Structure 1
Amino acid sequence: MKIAVIADIHGNVVALDAVLADLEKRGGADLIVNLGDCVAGPLWPRETFERLEKLGLPTVRGNHDRRVAEKVSDEMWPSDRFAHEQLTPQQRDALAALPLQLEIASSVLAFHARPDHDERYLADAIVDGYLVRAPLVAIEKRLGQLDPAYRLLLCGHSHRPELVRLSDGRMIFNPGSVGEPAYFDDTEPAHASQQGSPHARYGMVEIDPEGAMHFEFFAITYDWESAARQAEQTGRPEWAHALRTGFMPA
Structure 2
Amino acid sequence: MRLAVLADIHGNVLALDAVLEDMARRGGADLTVNLGDSVSGPLWPRETMERLEALNLPTVRGNHDRRVAVDPADETMWASDIYARQRLTPAQRDTLFAQPLILEIAPGVIAFHARPDHDEKYLLDAIVDRQLVRAPLAAIRRRLKALDPACRIALCGHSHRPELIRIPDGPVIFNPGSIGCPAYDDDTPPAHVSEQGSPHARYGIVTLGGAGQPDSFEMIAVEYDHEAAARQAEQAGRPEWAHGLRTGFMPEAARP
**Category of TM-score, reference length = shorter chain:** over 0.9
Match for residue 16 of structure 1?
A: 16
Q: CA deviation at 1:166?
A: 0.4
For 1:249 and 1:145, the matched residues in 2 are separated by 36
1:213 shift after superposition: 1.2
C-alpha separation between the residues in 1 aligned to 2:251 and 2:46? Answer: 27
Aligned residues: 250
Structure 1 residue 211: Cα displacement: 5.4
Q: Which residue of 2 aligns with 1:141?
A: 142
Deviation per residue, 1:74-130 (Å, 9 max, x gap): 210000000000001110011011100001011100000000100000000000000
Alpha-carbon distance in 2 for matches of 1:99, 1:211: 31
Structure 1: 5+ residue stretches without partners: none
Opposite residue 184 of structure 1, the aligned amino acid is D
Which residue of structure 1 lines up, in the alignment, with residue 234 of structure 2?
232
Identical pairs, percent: 70
Which shows bigger deviation, 131-140 or 161-170? 161-170
- Distance in 1 between the 2:146 and 2:155 partners? 17
- What is the TM-score normalised by the length of structure 2? 0.96
Q: What's the secondary structure of 1:8's corresponding residue?
A: coil
Q: Give 1:164-243 correspondences, 5 Å limit.
A: 164-209=165-210, 210=212, 212-243=214-245
Q: 2:45 and 2:147 mapped to 1: Cα distance?
A: 33
The letter for the 1-side match of 2:14 is V
Change (3 A) 1:94 1:211: farther
Inter-partner Cα distance in structure 1 for 2:84 and 2:148: 35
Cα distance in 1 for partners of 2:116, 2:188 equals: 21
Partner of 2:55: 55
Q: Which residue of 2 aligns with 1:107?
A: 108
List structure 1 segments (4+ residues) > 3 angstroms apart after TM superposition.
Answer: none
How far is the alpha carbon of 1:170 from its aligned partner?
1.2
Within 5 A, what are the aligned runs for 1:58-69? 58-69=58-69
Q: Distance in 2 between matches of 1:66 and 1:12?
A: 18
Distance in 1 (CA, whole Å) between partners of 2:157 and 2:114 is 6
* TM-score, L = length of structure 1: 0.99
Instruction: Tell me which amino acid in the other structure corresponds to 1:40.
Output: S
Question: By how many angstroms is 1:72 displaced?
Answer: 1.5
Unpaired stretches in structure 2, ≥5 consecutive residues: none
> Any idea what SS the aligned residue of 1:16 has?
helix
5 Å matches for 1:1-150?
A: 1-70=1-70, 71-150=72-151
Paired position in structure 1 for 2:155: 154
